[in-house]
A and B are shown apart, each in its own frame.
Chain A
Amino acid sequence: MSDFLQLVFQGLGIGAIYALVSLGFVLLIRAASVVNFGQGEFSMLGAYLLVVFFNILGINYFFGIGLSVIIMAGFGLIFAYATYWPLRFRGGLPVIISTIGASIFLQNMVLWIYGPSTVPIDGLFDSDGFQIGEVFISSQYLAIIVIAAALVLLQYVIFEKTLLGKKLQATSQDKEMASLLGIPVVIMIMITFAYSAALGGLAGILVAPILFVSVGMAGIITLKAFAANIIGGYGSIPGAILGGLALGIAETLGANYISVPYKDAFAFLMLLAFLMVRPQGLFGEKISEKA
């Protein structure tokens, strides 16, 4: 039983990471109809920024995190200007290709600046964790779960209780109508890019003490986060969270009880199963072509 609980905790932790990255995907899909394949690179850049501030410049760890997240928000604007803005009237596919290109460019840029070395970085706490009975609670995993939950709550409050949130929602639902109502659609999309990059950066910073900082650190996580997004319901915020958590737990339990080498396969089998049986995902709406 204690092994099962331990696995569920680890699964929740890794699932929360998928959920955070997936959330970044979903926001851009909703606001700008953009599938951003550079989302993983936001995470990698966030982690490298913290390496610069904390490991190299010796700035206070938490101040360094704040600074990294703010810079990532600014970077989101540059990213939008470079990859989305010139192609915004050309449909979804050119923008997707453009984000893939940006992702390759960012990886190589970081490789050029920092080199290929994998860098360790401190966690949020000095202690590795603590025991509850037979279960070891890793402080970093716990922090990831708590921060992910807090961000979901914050996002709910912003989207549902503030005027800015309503404007963002209106933009995501119908840009033309939102524009006619006087909502500055361009600014709303730019805010979403900034928030999505900040969120991606934070996910990278949180996962860095576990996976270390390297150019390829976000590769498999980004793919799983995208799978979580489909499982949860394409473009659904609660879906991204639950999809991520479900994926994390399923693959951890699957690895333990069925097969470790096929751990990655469970995530993608789950994706295939959903695409066949419930293509709209857990929370998605069934969308059909409008006549």
Chain B
Amino acid sequence: MLITRRSALLSAATVTSLGIAGRARAAETMKIGVVSPLTGPVAEAGRIQLNSLRLAVEKQNAAGGALGQQIELIVEDDQSTNPGAVLAFSRLAERKEIAGFIGSIRSTQMNAMAPDMLKVAKPVMFGGTDPTLTKLGNPWLFRCRPNDSYSGRVIVSFITGSMKLKKVALIHSTDAFGTGGKNAILANLEKQGLQPVLVQGYTNNQPDFSPVVLAVKSSGADVIVSYFTNEPDCAVFARQLRQLGVRTPWVGSPSIQSPVTRGLAKNALYGTYAVADFVEDSNPTAKAFADTYRAKHKESPDSGWTYDGLMILAKGINDSKSTEPEKIRQAILSIKKYAGTEGEYNFDQFGDGLHGYNIVINNNDKIDYKEHIEFTD
């Protein structure tokens, strides 16, 4: 065979291009889309969520990633708004190579993105706790935090059982999260034959809560139950509550014990109770995660749902041995007794992974685990 200069060059070019293609295949990653608040009022929570996600990616990649590929996050900023979230998700939806998504912790944003998520038809791990989100008939949503029907049940069970109190003043944000929480509390109080003495909604980002505080004061309530969405709102309310002399016991949704809220409200939150999905002393996975997080970021995490979400998504991909969305979905639904940072995951038919909550108390800025209330029905 006559080897000409031209054929030699062609062969070399072919070998080189094959080599490049081979390397490109080897470097291919398993892409997971993330919608997160990088800017706007809840960007602080977004930062902690992303830090947790990156820890999960590091851990999973060290253990082999997903289907032998390293996991790579594709992050889009939701700007802490619903339109921002929809736009962020639509940018991710265009990328066909993404195997699954990490959605939002905010129910209102999950509601806004849910129709597009149904169209894209790939698994979305999310943290929003509005109970209706997994009952929308959207089979792609998987919740990595206990929903508000559980927080409502746990709060009502705690105040009527352990605290033996019955006159409830219910304060809630009027967004989807706050309204979902309010409905859950009302339903669970009704089951016990109780009516709240005050139900007071407020819109987010308020500079002054004195009308709400005075309404609590004159209601004769013996316990305050709250669903605050934004941490500064919770802190402003807490300080005005103490300033206006209200010392009524207070059991709140998780935001009341987050490090951000405690940092802002300081002693105004001492002695308050909260339901908490993530408590580092509540299980060994949470403890190990919190220790790793602290070693890396010099602060304690206030949540582990994005960490769990990524690990469960990777497990779903690995268990199904496929990137086919339906197979991953079935694999996630069959996950039982998985030890996550937020508790033991047992996915039900609706996509809810967790079915209970912890109760914690703020003892002079130290969050102490009090009890765990789990439901099996």
- Which residues of A are in contact with B by a Cβ distance under 8 Å? 3, 6-7, 10, 13-14, 17, 108, 111, 115-118, 120, 128-129, 136, 138, 207, 210-212, 214, 216, 219-221, 252, 255-256, 260-261, 263-264
Contact = CB atoms under 8 A, between A and B. Distances in A.
Contacts of B200: 260
Contacts of B44: 115-118
B236 interface: yes
Given A14-B207, A214-B41, A116 B232 contact: no
Given A216-B41, A221-B207, A120 B264 contact: yes
A210 B235 CA distance: 10
B236 to A, nearest CB: 7
B243 A138 contact: yes
A210 B201 contact: no
Nearest to B43: A116
Nearest to B218: A3
A252 B211 contact: yes
B245 A118 contact: no
Nearest to A209: B239
25 contacts: A6-B214, A7-B210, A10-B210, A108-B39, A111-B39, A111-B43, A115-B47, A116-B46, A117-B260, A128-B239, A128-B243, A207-B207, A210-B236, A211-B236, A212-B232, A214-B232, A216-B40, A216-B205, A252-B208, A256-B211, A256-B214, A260-B212, A261-B201, A263-B206, A264-B203
A10 B240 CA distance: 11
Contact of B243 (A108, A111, A115, A136): A136
A252 B40 CA distance: 26
Contact of A3 (B203, B214, B235, B243): B214
Contact of B266 (A117, A118, A120, A260): A120
- The CB with the most chain A CB atoms within 10 A, among B46, B235, B242, B243, is that of B243
Contacts of B264: 118, 120, 212
A261 B205 contact: no
Contacts of A138: 243
Contacts of B263: 120
Contacts of A219: 205
Interface in B226-260: 231-232, 235-236, 239, 242-245, 260
Contacts of B163: none
B92 to A, nearest CB: 21
Contacts of A10: 208, 210
Interface in B119-149: none
B174 interface: yes
Contacts of A128: 239, 242-243
Contacts, number: 91
B232 A211 contact: yes
A116 B39 contact: yes
- The CB with the most chain A CB atoms within 10 A, among B200, B214, B231, B263, is that of B214
A256 B236 contact: no
A6 B208 CA distance: 12
Nearest to A137: B243
A260 B198 CA distance: 13
Given A3-B218, A120-B264, A263-B203, A255 B41 contact: no
Given A128-B243, A136-B243, A212-B232, A260 B41 contact: no
B215 interface: yes
A261 B206 CA distance: 10
B202 interface: yes
A116 B207 contact: no
A7 B211 contact: yes
A14 B215 CA distance: 19
Nearest to B210: A10
Contacts of B208: 10, 13-14, 252
A216 B200 CA distance: 25
B207 A136 contact: no
| 4 A-B pairs closest in CB distance | A116-B43, A256-B211, A255-B211, A10-B210
Interface in B35-82: 38-41, 43-44, 46-47
Nearest to B205: A220
A219 B264 CA distance: 19
B151 to A, nearest CB: 22
Nearest to B260: A118
A220 B239 CA distance: 20
A263 B211 contact: yes
B245 A136 contact: yes
A111 B42 CA distance: 12
- The CB with the most chain B CB atoms within 10 A, among A115, A221, A252, A261, is that of A261
